[in-house]
Chains A and B, each alone.
Chain A
Amino acid sequence: MNSSQVPVARKEGLVIQEMPDEVLVYDLDTNKAHCLNQTAAFVWKSCNGRNSVAEITKLVGDDSGSAVPEDLVWLAIDQLSEKNLLANSLKANFNGSTRREVIKKIGLAAVIGIPVVASLTAPTSVLAAATCACSTDANCAALPGCPPTCGGNGICV
């Protein structure tokens, strides 16, 4: 992997909610919400278009008080890129290892948390309200005001 690559955090089309140890990001283009844990959030914030991956690795190490492997930063970048949270495209290459294998390898020695970006697609208002949510036609027949047939999307139609 090229540690001189410079990742840039995406800023456009996002709603960002800072939390004490996490960052929530809502993608207005895809209606997806992402929760970045502390490590992933630190890496994302460090992707300012000036820091290389090697420099971000040093920043993470300085912040945690102990050197960290570059693969840990790539793990974060790999997820951030996959979730479209970077403005430029960077592809991690773990020398033939899978992400799971890298997590296992780093996890044993890491002094800080493995970076995690958890995501979900925000529900439409109808799904969130589950006004006519169903799994069977019997559900629909019993729900006041809902059409009687349970559709494939889990809503009475």
Chain B
Amino acid sequence: MMSPRMLMKKELENGRITNYCQISFQSFGVKIGVRAESSDLINEIKNDLSKINPNGFDIIDDSQIEHLFEIKPEENKGIEIIKDGKLLISWSHEMSILPFLQSQIRLTIAEFAESKVFLHAGAVGWKGRAILIPARSFSGKSTLVAELVKRGASYYSDDYAVLDQEGLLHPFHRQLSLRGFEDKYQQVDFSVESLGGKASSEPIPIGIVLITKYKEGNKNPKNWKPQILTGGRGIMEILSHTIPIRYNPKFSLEVLNKVSKHAIICKSQRGDATEFTSLLLNFFETHVIK
């Protein structure tokens, strides 16, 4: 006779979740459980796991989990999300909690991933070398990635760039989220194929790390010359976008040091993305591909 845990696992695998509302899975070596009173929410999470990590998941036994998200009703008809026993947020808004929960799970994977360093960055490949664009939200990162993809660059990431212990870039293919279609803020998702681009799955070395921010009204100079940073100063810039820096500073610094040995790290403001893409690719061809 199967134990309740084994029975639940079996039901999870078969897509039939009964009164035991938990899903446990592993991604990048990070073992996560999500527990809720509502099986609907757990089902939604299960059906949408690819939105959290497009690279895939393994369902694991509940006893293996290292990080637990609990979704509980609170007194004022809202919801509480508790992570590892600590209140993450009280949610009393009408909108669905699912995207927030997904982003928090993704962030947990990014912070604790085994043998990988996640950066908040866009990334594309060009002739076998990567262009990495670490940046905060609202800096025009996705717009620049989309323009590069339209110009033939292979797509690696719009959100999280994944580096291995040798400093190579691995793909993290989520849909590109672009603003400016419905209004200034609202994001609209596009597949890389719909932009006429293609995604790549091969790990590649970093050719250039570009620290940049779109500034409205900025003009791109015809003779674009970014400020080239020393390895140390470059890493200091990248650190601001390095998800596991506090959790695993030693490994993060080792990986970023490897990146700095082979890549140009540069900094520049930019204007219009279409025009800037030409300047960037021209610079890349001259200084990286040679």
Contacts and interface: CB of A to CB of B under 8 A. Distances in A.
Most A-side CB within 10 Å, residue of B99, B101, B231 = B231
B244 A143 contact: no
A133 B136 contact: yes
B268 interface: no
Interface string B77-114: 00000000000010101011111111110010011000
Contact of A148 (B93, B137, B160, B260): B93
Interface in A90-120: 118, 120
Contact of B247 (A36, A125, A146): A125
A144 B233 CA distance: 33
A128 B233 contact: no
B102 A17 contact: no
B102 A139 contact: no
A35 B241 contact: no
Contact of B187 (A37, A131, A143): A143
Given A35-B232, A35-B233, A130-B120, A125 B257 contact: no
Contacts of B253: 15, 17, 24, 26
B243 interface: yes
Contacts of B183: 142
A21 B260 CA distance: 12
Given A19-B257, A35-B232, A128-B245, A122 B100 contact: no
Interface of A: 15, 17, 19-24, 26, 28, 31, 33, 35-37, 118, 120, 122-126, 128-133, 135, 138-139, 141-148, 157
Given A120-B240, A125-B111, 13 more contacts: A17-B253, A19-B231, A19-B257, A21-B230, A26-B250, A31-B246, A118-B233, A122-B245, A123-B240, A128-B119, A142-B179, A144-B177, A145-B100
